[in-house]
Amino acid sequence: MSPMRLEFIVPVACIVMMGLLGVVQLGLNADVLAWSDRNEDDRYLRVKVRTSRNGWYSSVVIAFRAIPDSYSGTSSGLIFWSSIGAIVDTVLLLVLTLRKRSFIVERSDSDKNVSHRSLPIKPIVYTILTVVFLRPLIVLLYIFIYHYTQATRTLAYLDLYNLSNTHYPASEGTFTPETWFCGIRSHVATVYPYGHHERNELSRLCNEARTTRWILLPMLVVSMLVVFGVLWMQRSASARAARNDGEAVDVHRDRRTSDADTMKERSEDLEHGTE
């Protein structure tokens, strides 16, 4: 594969990957946000636990409110808008790179004198690249710092034997979707250490909330690759345009020299003919 095609395919592949990560993150987070919106309806989640005692199996259903009182949906909302931003940036960058592919591919001979020294709408492209890099970095730092400091402090206040009690001291922190759903699942396992937890909405919501947080790591890496890839593409295009301009100048100089030599020879022939 030629370097020309490589410098085009690699940035575009990174841009597409960033968009796919945004779509996956948005889909996983949408279900968590849907449960957050149901708080006013006082919806309940039910955990079905199968226990074994003296060879006999029995099922216990634990019901609790979907969202506690001391709940903060800031993290989910931030991840939601970050996913939307990644998708929008993907569309914009794809339009700019695919539509202006002439910055990467070889031009015809008739266009050799045309100079293309940078990506189109340069300030806009650089602004998009700045947002692409800073957005996942800021969101990742905020989410992880919040998760490992304030949010986890409230897990100690869960009532293991009365999960329907949702009035926890807000002064000790707030629950995020992940700490709430995963904390409940963990404490259910503590109450029923020998029980078998069947698949339920609680486990699904816990896994979705946790996955949306960890997707921020590959999102940041891919975003950095997008920035470096587009800058690499722009630099290569500028170098190729300058090289083409230099070749065009050399050709023009050679033509002028050749024309001058031809005119000189003709003038000499005329002088000899006159003599």
pLDDT of residue 111: 46
What is the distance between the alpha carbons of residues 130 and 25, in angstroms, rounded to a whole number?
21
Sheet holding 56-65, edge to edge: 56-65, 44-53, 196-197
pLDDT of residue 47: 61
**pTM assigned to the model:** 0.69
Q: What is the largest CA-CA distance in the chain?
A: 131
Q: What angle is formed at CA 251 by the lines to CA 250 and CA 255, rounded to 5 degrees?
A: 115
pLDDT in tens, 51-94: 656 655 566 666 666 566 667 778 888 999 999 999 999 999 88
Mean pLDDT of 124-129: 86
Q: Quick one: pLDDT band at residue 197, thresholds 50, 70, 90?
A: low
Residues 6+ apart with CB under 8 A from 80: 26, 29, 30, 33
Nearest to 179 by CA among 156, 151, 199, 208: 151
HSE (side-chain half, CA atoms, 13 Å) at 259: 6
pLDDT of residue 269: 57
Q: CA 173, 178, 179, 185 torsion: positive or negative? A: positive
Q: Quick one: pLDDT band at residue 231, thresholds 50, 70, 90?
A: confident
CA separation (Å) from 248 to 119, 236, 256?
A: 21, 18, 12
pLDDT of residue 140: 94
pLDDT in tens, 1-40: 445 577 778 888 999 999 999 999 999 988 888 776 665 4
Structure-token match 């004198």, residue found:
113
Domain map of the chain by residue range?
3-267
CA separation (Å) from 169 to 66, 100, 166?
A: 18, 57, 10
Quote the tokens at residue 22.
């945004």
DSSP string over 96-112: HHHHTGGGTSPPPGGGT
Of residues 162 and 77, more confidently modeled? 77
Judging by beta carbons within 10 Å of its beta carbon (0-12, 13-18, 19+), is residue 98 exposed, middle or buried?
exposed
pLDDT of residue 180: 79
- Phi, psi for residue 206 in degrees, rounded to 5: -65, -45
pLDDT of residue 255: 59
With a cut of 80, say whether residue 165 has pLDDT above it. Answer: no
pLDDT of residue 138: 95
Nearest to 44 by CA among 35, 53, 31: 35
Q: Quick one: pLDDT band at residue 103, thresholds 50, 70, 90?
A: very low
pLDDT in tens, 207-217: 898 999 999 99
